[in-house]
Amino acid sequence: MSRRERQNLGSARSSDPPSVATPVPMAVAQPRPGVVTVTLHVNGVDRSLTIEPWITLLDAFREHLGLTGPKKGCDRGQCGACTVLLDGRRVTSCLALAVAHQDAQITTTEGLGTQENLHPLQQAFIAHDAFQCGYCTPGQICSAVGMLCEAQAGWPSAVSLDLTANQVTLDADEIRERMSGNLCRCAAYANIVPAIQEVAS
């Protein structure tokens, strides 16, 4: 596996030290006004952090918890690069305040698989060369995981011809529609869609 692939899949290597946030020493040891203590349940681990209420989940992951898998693209919910799973549901973590999601079980791309045992979608993205620069990939994969659960539950989409069908058939049009919240500036869509389709079937 190339270095690019390792970086982009966001999986921790077993030789890596545990990803624990390094506290940044403050220049002046004064309590910051308005900070709150927040506990987040991320990838099966309870993580306590002291942050301002306006810190989003995305910034909490990246700046406080050392989880840089979720990416900051637009920071406005429009690109999907920051997508993570809250209680199994995909959301844009840039629009979710960390303080408001302490009761959720959160999964980031780091929690989906390991170097030795990749998540099937991570494996499929490699097999189909479903990325170029890779910046959107962690969000694409988390989104696809959530999307497959939604389809499994029989949720229709805007292109579903039968709104009341019990079963969803994920053809390419369905996948494109359901993944429209994840942009890829390299336009790797031509390989992303088959990668997801392989896991769906």
Residues that bind other proteins (CB under 8 A): 33-34, 36, 52-54, 56, 75-77, 80, 83, 86, 89-92, 95-97, 99-100, 143, 146-147, 150, 153-158, 160, 163-164, 176-182
Per DSSP, what are the bridge partners of residue 90?
85
- Cβ proximity to other proteins: between 66 and 181 the closer is 181
Shortest distance, position 201 Cβ to other proteins, whole Å: 20
Shortest distance, position 6 Cβ to other proteins, whole Å: 26
Inter-CA distances, 119 with 11, 41, 112, 164, Å: 10, 20, 6, 31
- Cβ proximity to other proteins: between 129 and 177 the closer is 177
Shortest distance, position 183 Cβ to other proteins, whole Å: 9
Shortest distance, position 135 Cβ to other proteins, whole Å: 17
- Cβ proximity to other proteins: between 18 and 33 the closer is 33
Angstrom distance (rounded) from CA 85 to CA 46 = 16
Angstrom distance (rounded) from CA 1 to CA 127 = 11
